A = this chain, B = another copy of it.
């Protein structure tokens, strides 16, 4: 029985993780769960999975939950509580917190946990080199959950990395693939949130529409597999059947394919190094009929260019990319800016930034805060 803690259990990845766990009651046991503020879903998860420790980051909500749960369960509140749970050793910690909020709990988990299933990409974007340094020091094993990174992981697994020539990071192209760039200004929030292939959280769905999600994945790939940015190509693949590919120096390419359901890569991250019999329908190639590939349109999706630029520059520029994107997406979700202004916010803040080449964690946090503030200012100026 693998003891598992899920940080961010009420989000999309967290909920899917628990669905997988539910199917394998003899394999997995939930030790800890955490939410930012969604105590309604957390209460429900507590009833179903009997965790020993739960954390609600919002201390006010934590107080409210206290009245409604069994007092045998340890309930912690606030950022401190989250860090505390990250530091209680289990067999696998699933990091399903989205955005920059994952950074500190992740660092604590790397210091404590033998194995981490990582769904968060923002922490890697912000502090990839520092995180990798810590991973090296502690020897913790990081297994990707993101479908693309899981695909690369499965293609590379235990293979000699010196034989890797190129990684094809595939992208469905998002919900706006076939929409003219000139119409981006008036595109509705509803349209953007209607992803053709994946059901995901709002932030990542908007990131899929701008292709920033793929941009952030460039960093994930770089840091998870120790690959230079020059070896990563983005390939638009609308059917989202191939989740990524690895080309070897001899011209052979390995690809991982599956239905577009996050429970597939989540299950593999949970069961790794084993595979367990899946409970979802398999791929049906006769029904699929066609797999297509296209070049990404960098003119239409400038966020990709910004991401490449930040990945090449390194230092704190990726922090700025990520922080300004967080604010821009938040503002779009609150209908404060229109869709075509998202890249404009990012571009403006990136241009204002003086890159710090080898940042400390402290530098990263201050640049992150600076960039969020600057992005807010840019958003306000649009109105």
A123-181 contacts to B (CB < 8 Å): 154-155, 157-160, 163, 165-166, 168
A158 to B158, Cβ gap below 8 A? yes
- Would you give the shortest CB distance from A42 to chain B, in whole angstroms? 28
C-alpha gap A264/B251 in the complex (Å) = 7
Given contacts A275-B160, A292-B289, contact A259 B251 (CB under 8 A): yes
Q: How far is the CA of A101 from the CA of B126 in the complex (A)?
A: 63
CB of A382 within 8 A of chain B?
A: no
Please indicate the chain B residues that have their CB under 8 angstroms from the CB of A254 in the complex.
Answer: 154-155, 254-257
Q: Is the CB of B275 within 8 A of A250?
A: yes
| Contact A235-B285, Cβ < 8 Å, known A249-B275, A250-B278 | yes
CB atoms of B249 and A258 under 8 A apart: no
Determine whether the beta carbon of A251 is less than 8 Å from that of B280.
yes
Say yes or no: B258 contacts A252, CB within 8 Å: yes
A309 to chain B, nearest CB (A): 22
In the assembled complex, the Cα of A271 lies from the Cα of B160 at a distance in Å of 14
Given contacts A255-B255, A286-B294, A291-B290, contact A250 B235 (CB under 8 A): no
Distance, CA A295 to CA B285, complexed state (A): 9
A:230-268 near B, CB below 8 Å: 235, 242, 245, 247-259, 264, 267-268
A283 near B: Cβ within 8 Å?
A: yes
Which residues of the other chain, B, contact A259 by a CB distance below 8 angstroms?
251
* A288 touching B277, Cβ below 8 Å: no
Q: Which A324-379 residues have a C-beta within 8 angstroms of B?
A: none
Contacts A251-B259, A251-B278, A252-B268 known; 16 new A-B pairs at CB < 8 A: A155-B254, A163-B275, A166-B282, A245-B257, A248-B275, A249-B275, A250-B271, A250-B276, A251-B264, A251-B282, A254-B256, A255-B255, A285-B293, A286-B293, A289-B292, A289-B294
